[in-house]
Chains A and B, each alone.
Chain A
């Protein structure tokens, strides 16, 4: 009897209301499967833009008078001359005998150029994926003495997915057109060759080509000349080029280092190489065969390096492209034992690019935070001596109390022989 009452109450007060409520919803439940989620993937397709090599090279030998610096890149000092890369366009040759009044002597048109080095009267410059050697005895009549093909194959692709685009040997890839496209995305599969896609693929083909004084490069350089050898870093390797006869550089070998190689800094018989994963040290006492000596790993970031032989100074730049860290910094490493560098201390930075050391002074191009000068006599406790905040510097070369700075604003030169009165000597700026 009690059981029947409970059952009846359950029917009346629980099941009936629920049935009454849910019955009208039944068709909706059945319709649920009709709704489909739409998942798409939007990415960028890059298509190469070609130009015939003969057309590009014909432009190189055209004599051009000096022109204004528009988009200053890397800098290189050779004697009284200052070489300034105009990013992807060529090289300014500037007579810097008087840093207070530098004179633009000529502009050598080198499309696709971003790196330079000089030995004797020969200028070495990358020209898209090739390297060109130019006789600049007469800067207004530069002559091509040698072209080394496909030394920098990474210039032929964008992305780090292990896929390259190889143009035929008669053409350069001079640019990329980009177009965003959206396709259905097969979630949750993780795509392995995504993000940047080419309109055509080909696997990488190995590069098959082939007692004057040298100059001084900034820390962002990818070329370094030590005696009779030029060392150039590609994205994955160290390239050894014999420049004993400067006008006819001879490619010798590629030494695989790792990925994300960025900069090279020579010091005595060692090469300090900055990559976005580590700082590497190579011994070049046998010049043609650099030998791995040691490394110091760091989180993924963009990082030039300089050294005084006792300590190495590495700036790690954060930012989307540069990788994993969220805060930029300066790392000071003890390199007394080259096989096992040790971290001394890190210091926060804003947005660092190139750096340079002169005695106990360390100059750091801290991007939007300006140019900074530190006293590093005690690497465990460095102190900021001076800050020039109205410029956005990229690279710096100190020489005999004079400082040459490549910045967004152009090329600036300072006299820092008196640290309490750092003076702007000249400014070669955009017009």
Chain B
């Protein structure tokens, strides 16, 4: 899954930049996540900027319910190209859990945490100091952020005559948060 995502990212980047003057850009954020519970997120997005558009790929750490590694594609558009200050951004990809929950079903013998969808959409404002180069700046953003999570538990059972088919139970999490992001465009 991770490999496929990286391949798609590479292809999109290649298409987006074909025959155009491209400018490398990175966006690096710390976010405070607030929903039914709270959490933190660190992300870094790297890609290419052309005019008022930006496309890239990002990853990071997302500590909300469970620590996970989001890997995603990112697309942005400066809403007012004259000033290039207000940015609308969409991130879409997968979230790979990095830790496990302590609770298990009594009859479970094994728990897997498969990758699940990850997505964000929001507005970012860029404050550019005089000392900074064009395109660089301090970023302040508000996003709606979604993180999926699933615990696939393999249950033990009565198997008097092996081999027996496995039985599973799934705990599905659809986590909705606001992400308040502070970052740097480099």
Contacts and interface: CB of A to CB of B under 8 A. Distances in A.
Partners in one complex: yes
Interface stretch (A4-12, A141-149, A150-158): A150-158
Interface-central residue, A29, A194, A222, by most chain B CB under 10 Å: A194
A37 B155 contact: no
Contact of B166 (A41, A154, A321): A321
Contacts of B107: 159-161, 194-196
A196 B165 CA distance: 13
Given A28-B142, A37-B35, A158-B157, A190 B167 contact: no
Interface in B24-40: 34-37
Contacts of A37: 35-37, 65, 173-176
A178 B101 CA distance: 28
B140 interface: yes
Contact of A188 (B103, B167, B168, B177): B103
A262 interface: yes
A185 B101 CA distance: 15
B1 interface: no
B153 interface: yes
A268 interface: no
A364 interface: no
A: interface residue count bin: 35 or more
A377 interface: no
A196 B157 contact: yes
A131 to B, nearest CB: 13
A41 B169 contact: yes
Contacts of B36: 33, 35-37
A277 to B, nearest CB: 11
A320 B108 contact: no
A306 to B, nearest CB: 16
B180 A28 contact: yes
A324 B105 CA distance: 14
B173 A39 contact: yes
B162 interface: yes
A196 B167 contact: yes
Nearest to B153: A195
A152 B161 CA distance: 12
Given A44-B167, A353-B162, A31 B154 contact: no
B105 A194 contact: yes
A66 interface: no
A145 B127 CA distance: 92
Contact of B35 (A32, A40, A114, A235): A32
B161 A73 contact: yes
A246 B123 CA distance: 83
A192 B106 contact: yes
Interface in A25-63: 25, 28-29, 31-33, 35-44
Contacts of A87: 161
Given A28-B142, A195-B107, A41 B170 contact: yes
B160 A222 contact: yes
B109 interface: yes
Interface in B143-184: 153-178, 180
Contacts of A36: 35-36, 176
Contacts of B172: 38-42, 182, 185
A178 B167 CA distance: 11
Interface of B: 34-37, 65, 101, 103-110, 140, 142, 153-178, 180
- What are the 9 tightest A-B residue pairs by CB atom distance, in nearest-first order? A32-B34, A195-B155, A42-B170, A38-B174, A114-B161, A35-B35, A35-B176, A320-B154, A320-B166
14 contacts: A28-B142, A38-B176, A41-B171, A44-B167, A87-B161, A114-B160, A159-B158, A159-B167, A187-B171, A190-B105, A195-B108, A222-B161, A235-B158, A323-B109
Given A114-B161, A194-B105, A235-B160, 11 more contacts: A35-B34, A37-B35, A40-B171, A44-B167, A159-B107, A160-B156, A160-B158, A185-B171, A196-B157, A320-B154, A320-B166
